[in-house]
A and B are shown apart, each in its own frame.
Chain A
Amino acid sequence: MTVLIGQLFTGVSIGAVLLLIALGLALTFGQMGVINMAHGEFIMAGAYTTFVLQQVITAAGWSLLIALPVAFVVAGAMGVLLEILLIRRLYARPLDTLLVTWGVSLILQQLARDIFGSPNVQTRAPELLTGNIALPGGITVANNRLFILALAGGAVVALTVALRVTPLGRRIRAVVQNRDLAAVSGIATARVDRMTFFIGSGLAGIAGVALTLLGPIGPTMGTNLIIDAFLVVVVGGIGQLKGTVIVAFALGVLQASGEYLTTLSVAKVMVFVAIVAFLQWRPQGMFTLRTRSLA
């Protein structure tokens, strides 16, 4: 029983990481249909932002807290720049967007190598987040995992609220549901696209800050994350956040139990097989906005 709950929590914390890295994509890919392969490098940018801030502000706790908004802005600004320079011209060609942004991600990786060096760097975690909490029933939970879980939850709540109640959120949803109608209703769709991209990319920055608590920071960290993040959004279904949330945790738990029963590598393959099987049942993902399929 204890083992089961322990594994469950491991799964949930893997899920929280997946959720954090996928949440921004749920916005840019899910809502706008843009396949941004450089999203992983925005995560990297968030992580390096934390690293740089820690050089300036030595108190690990403070630097982490300050890194959250700063990384959001840094990654968000990178996203907006990318949107303006390239993605905007490619809205009609999603597959080409994928390749172009992959080229961008190569450039960003090399840039990171030239600035920070090829070897991985490490940040110091704040004292508060290094220990464990013992829960009743003999389960111990790492503080940093709890923090990431809380951060992921907070990001989801903030994003949901932003989309539901703010005027910007209403505009984003309007553009998603009917771009032409939104445009003739006086919504500046180009500006909404840019803001959506800012928020989505900014969330990648926040994910980057969180990842510094779990491991080293390196120029290629984004490549390893981007596929997992995309899979979460694909399986979750585009256009709605709840699919992303459910699938992130489901895949996390699946991977944790797979790892427990076999090995990490076999678990990864199991997850892939499960995803293909799932898409047999729901090819459009878990939730989807249904429309007349051919116009």
Chain B
Amino acid sequence: MTEQLHGLYVRDLRVSFDGFTAVDGVSLDVAPGDIRFLIGPNGAGKTTLVDAVTGLVKATGSVRFGDRELLGRPVHRISRLGVGRTFQTSTVFEELTVLQNLDIAAGARRGWATLLRRRHGVPDEVAEALEVIGLASRADQLAGTLAHGQKQWLEIGMLLVQDARLLLLDEPVAGMSHEERDATGQLLEQVSRDRTVVVIEHDMDFLRRFARTVTVLHAGKVLSEGTVAQVQADPRVQEVYLGHPVDAGTAPTATEA
């Protein structure tokens, strides 16, 4: 894993559905190796932004990962450039085992000759990911029988074997216990050593502990950006979350956590 780290560079991104503008001219830079949290009230355009970056919705403007332009490419091509994402609801393949899930994620670069053969043993990158996400003992279990938190880790593990260099995670710790959240946060810190991570998250406690930088979106626009402390001190952020400025720190938690 010596591949070079890349950053994500979004310029004047716009997405509209039938006249409604969900993302309205967003520009933001995520430095290589950053853990960037995207926060904002419901409807701020967080998920739509990720949808646009990964090619799920049409958008105008520019999205570059490293020096590659992503906009205009189909979803699976963007994925092959090293962009991986998870969804709010976990979307592992429940009818397949943990091992099969990871093996499929590892396989997009495989040729047809490999695809048409049977899998023998466990590929190295899959074994490694199984260790990292702590599911090695459950490799042969059907993914549908995993607990909620484990499914989320499996998803992250799939991004790892997919060799995604940019991880876009949509609410990865929603519904997790405290222990699971801590484990997930440490997992993120570990993977960000050679990857760039963008997290959509409502959990402010989780954000304070693991975010390196934060972007606040509101009504499809960037409202504020900076470190956790900078963003929390921003009166505009407090205004959006509570309607009027209040003590820094408690503001977002009240409505979002």
* A touching B, CB within 8 angstroms: yes
Query: Residues of A at under 8 Å CB distance from B?
Result: 290, 292-295
Set B17, B18, B87: member contacting A294, Cβ < 8 A = B87
* B177 interfacial contact with A, CB 8 Å: no
Contacts of B57 in A (CB 8 A): 292-293
* Whole-angstrom CA separation of A290 from B47 in the bound complex: 16
A290 x B56 contact (CB < 8 A):
no
Looking at A290, A293, A294, the one whose CB has the most chain B CB atoms below 10 A away is: A294
Nearest CB on A from B74, distance (A): 14
For A295, the closest partner residue in chain B by CB is B89
A295 cross-chain contacts in B, Cβ below 8 A:
87-89
**Chain B interface residue count, Cβ-Cβ cutoff 8 angstroms:** 10
Closest 3 CB pairs of A and B: A290-B18, A290-B17, A295-B89
Nearest to A293 among chain B residues (CB) is B56
B89 touching A292, Cβ below 8 Å = no
A-facing residues in B72-93 (Cβ within 8 Å): 87-89
Chain B, residue nearest A289 (CB):
B18
Interface residues of B (CB under 8 A from A): 17-18, 47-48, 51, 56-57, 87-89
Minimum Cβ distance to chain A for residue B51 (Å) = 7
| A residues in contact with B18, CB < 8 Å | 290
Q: Of all chain A residues, which has the CB nearest B48?
A: A292
Q: How far is the CB of A91 from chain B (nearest CB, A)?
A: 19
Chain B hits for A292, CB < 8 A: 17, 47-48, 51, 57
CB distance from A49 to the nearest CB of B (A): 42
Distance (whole angstroms) from the CB of A106 to the closest CB of chain B: 31
CB-CB < 8 A to A293: which residues of B? 56-57
CA–CA, A292 and B18, complex, Å: 12
Write the nearest CB–CB distance from A285 to chain B, whole angstroms: 15
Given A292-B17, A293-B57, A295-B89, 4 more pairs with CB closer than 8 A: A292-B51, A292-B57, A294-B56, A294-B87
CB-nearest residue of chain B relative to A291? Answer: B17
A293 to B88, CA, bound (A): 13
Min CB gap B83→A, angstroms: 16
A259 to B244, CA, bound (A): 70
Which residues of the partner chain A approach B47 to less than 8 Å between Cβ atoms?
Answer: 292
Would you list 14 pairs from A and B whose C-beta atoms are within 8 A, ordered by A residue?
Answer: A290-B17, A290-B18, A292-B17, A292-B47, A292-B48, A292-B51, A292-B57, A293-B56, A293-B57, A294-B56, A294-B87, A295-B87, A295-B88, A295-B89
* Chain A residues within 8 Å of B56, by CB: 293-294
CA of A292 to CA of B170, assembled, Å: 15
| Smallest CB gap from B51: residue in A | A292
B18 to A, closest residue via Cβ: A290
Distance, CA A295 to CA B87, complexed state (A): 7
On chain B, the residues within 8 Å of A290 by CB distance are: 17-18
A292 to B51, CA, bound (A): 9
